[in-house]
C-alpha cells in the first residue's frame, strides 16, 4: 500500500493493535507500525502523537457521546434519568463503532502495561469530571452531579468488562441496562 492511499489512520491502528498483541507494547516501535501499515513514520506522526495514542484514538468521540446525551436530555430529567441516558448513548456509540473484538484486544494490551493502565484511568477520571460538569449545567447540584457521573463511569467500566469477556454474546447496551438495574436494586 502506498502512503498516499486513503485510510492511513485505520491501517495504522490495525497494524499497531496486531503488533502490540504479537510483540507487546514496549517491543513495538513506531517504525514497525508504519511499516506494517504501508506508510512512512512521518505519516504515522501526522495522525498520532505517539504509539500510545493509537490505543486511545476515539476517546473524544466517546466522551462526547456521553456528555451530549446529558446536554440534550429534557430539562426536567432526574439524576437517574441523566445516568441512564448517558449510559445508553455512550454504550451504543462504542458498540456501533467497534463491536467487542477490537476492545477485547485493546484491553488485553492495556492490562499488560502499567503506564497504559494509568492512561486508561486518567481517561475515565476525565470522563467523570466532564459528565459531572454537564450534569451541573443541566441543573443538578454539585454533589448529586458528581455521584451521578461516578455512577455512569462505574456502570460503564463494569459493563464494558463483561462485554469483552470471551464467549459473551450480549450486546453492550443490554449489559449496561442489566448492570444499572443491579445497582438500583442494591440502592433500594
Q: Are residues 102 and 45 in the same domain?
A: no
Same domain, 37 and 107: no
92 in any annotated domain? yes
- Average pLDDT, integer, range 93-98: 89
Is the same domain home to 34 and 98? no
Average pLDDT (123-145) is 97
Domain presence at residue 3? no
Task: Taking residues 128-149, report their average pLDDT.
Answer: 97
pLDDT at 1: 43
Task: Judge if 89 and 105 occupy the same domain.
Answer: yes
Work out the angle at residue 30's Cα, subtended by the Cα atoms of residues 22 and 19, and round it to the nearest 5 degrees.
10
For residue 1, is it within any domain?
no
What pLDDT was estimated at residue 4? 52
SS3 assignment, position 131: helix
The CATH number linked to 151 is 1.10.357.10
Contact present, 180 and 155 (Cβ < 8 Å): yes
Please, what is the average pLDDT of the chain?
94
Q: Which three cell numbers stand for residue 161?
A: 468488562
62 & 39 share domain: no
Residue 32 lies in a domain: yes
**Is the CA virtual torsion 94, 166, 7, 19 positive or negative?**
positive
Secondary structure element (H or E) that encloses residue 176, with its range: helix 172-187
**pLDDT at position 72:** 97
The answer to whether residue 2 is domain-embedded is no
If asked whether residues 35 and 63 sit together in one domain, one would say: no
Shared domain for 168 and 87, answered yes or no, is yes
- Does residue 42 sit in the same domain as residue 73? no
Long-range (24+ apart) CB contacts under 8 A made by 146-153 are: 147/79, 148/79, 148/80, 148/82, 148/83, 151/83, 151/183, 152/66, 152/83, 152/86, 152/87, 152/90, 152/127, 152/128, 153/124, 153/127, 153/128
In the chain, the number of structural domains is 2
Residue of 183, 149, 176 whose CA lies nearest to 161: 176
Quick one: 182 and 155 in the same domain? yes
Domain shared by 77 and 12, yes or no: no
**61-69 mean pLDDT:** 96
Q: What is the DSSP string of 61-77?
A: HHHHHHHHHHHTS-TT-
Please give the pLDDT value at position 58.
Answer: 85
Are 140 and 84 found together in one domain? yes
CA 68/CA 7 separation, integer angstroms? 27
- pLDDT at residue 25 greater than cutoff 70: yes
Rounded to a whole number of angstroms, the CA Rg of the chain reads 18
* Domain boundaries, position 83: 58-187
Residue 2 has pLDDT above 60, yes or no: no
Burial class (CB in 10 A: 0-12, 13-18, 19+), 145: buried
Let me know whether 71 and 163 are in one domain: yes
Q: Is residue 144 part of a domain?
A: yes
Query: Would you place residue 7 in the very low, low, confident or very high pLDDT band (cuts 50, 70, 90)?
Result: confident
Amino acid at each position: 500500500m502506498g502512503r498516499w492511499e486513503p485510510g492511513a489512520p485505520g491501517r495504522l491502528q490495525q497494524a499497531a493493535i496486531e503488533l502490540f498483541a504479537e510483540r507487546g507494547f514496549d517491543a513495538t516501535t513506531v517504525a514497525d507500525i508504519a511499516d506494517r501499515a504501508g506508510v512512512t513514520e512521518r505519516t504515522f506522526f501526522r495522525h498520532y502523537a505517539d504509539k500510545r495514542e493509537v490505543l486511545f484514538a476515539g476517546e473524544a468521540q466517546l466522551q462526547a457521546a456521553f456528555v451530549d446525551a446529558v446536554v440534550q436530555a429534557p430539562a426536567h430529567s432526574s439524576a437517574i434519568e441523566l445516568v441512564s441516558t448517558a449510559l445508553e448513548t455512550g454504550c451504543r456509540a462504542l458498540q456501533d463503532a467497534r463491536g467487542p473484538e477490537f476492545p477485547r484486544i485493546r484491553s488485553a494490551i492495556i492490562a499488560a502495561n502499567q503506564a497504559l493502565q494509568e492512561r486508561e484511568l486518567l481517561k475515565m477520571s476525565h470522563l467523570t469530571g466532564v459528565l459531572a460538569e454537564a450534569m451541573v449545567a443541566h441543573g443538578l447540584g454539585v454533589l448529586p452531579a458528581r455521584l451521578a457521573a461516578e455512577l455512569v463511569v462505574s456502570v460503564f467500566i463494569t459493563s464494558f468488562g463483561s462485554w469483552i469477556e470471551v464467549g459473551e454474546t450480549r450486546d453492550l447496551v443490554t449489559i449496561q441496562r442489566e448492570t444499572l438495574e443491579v445497582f438500583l436494586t442494591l440502592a433500594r
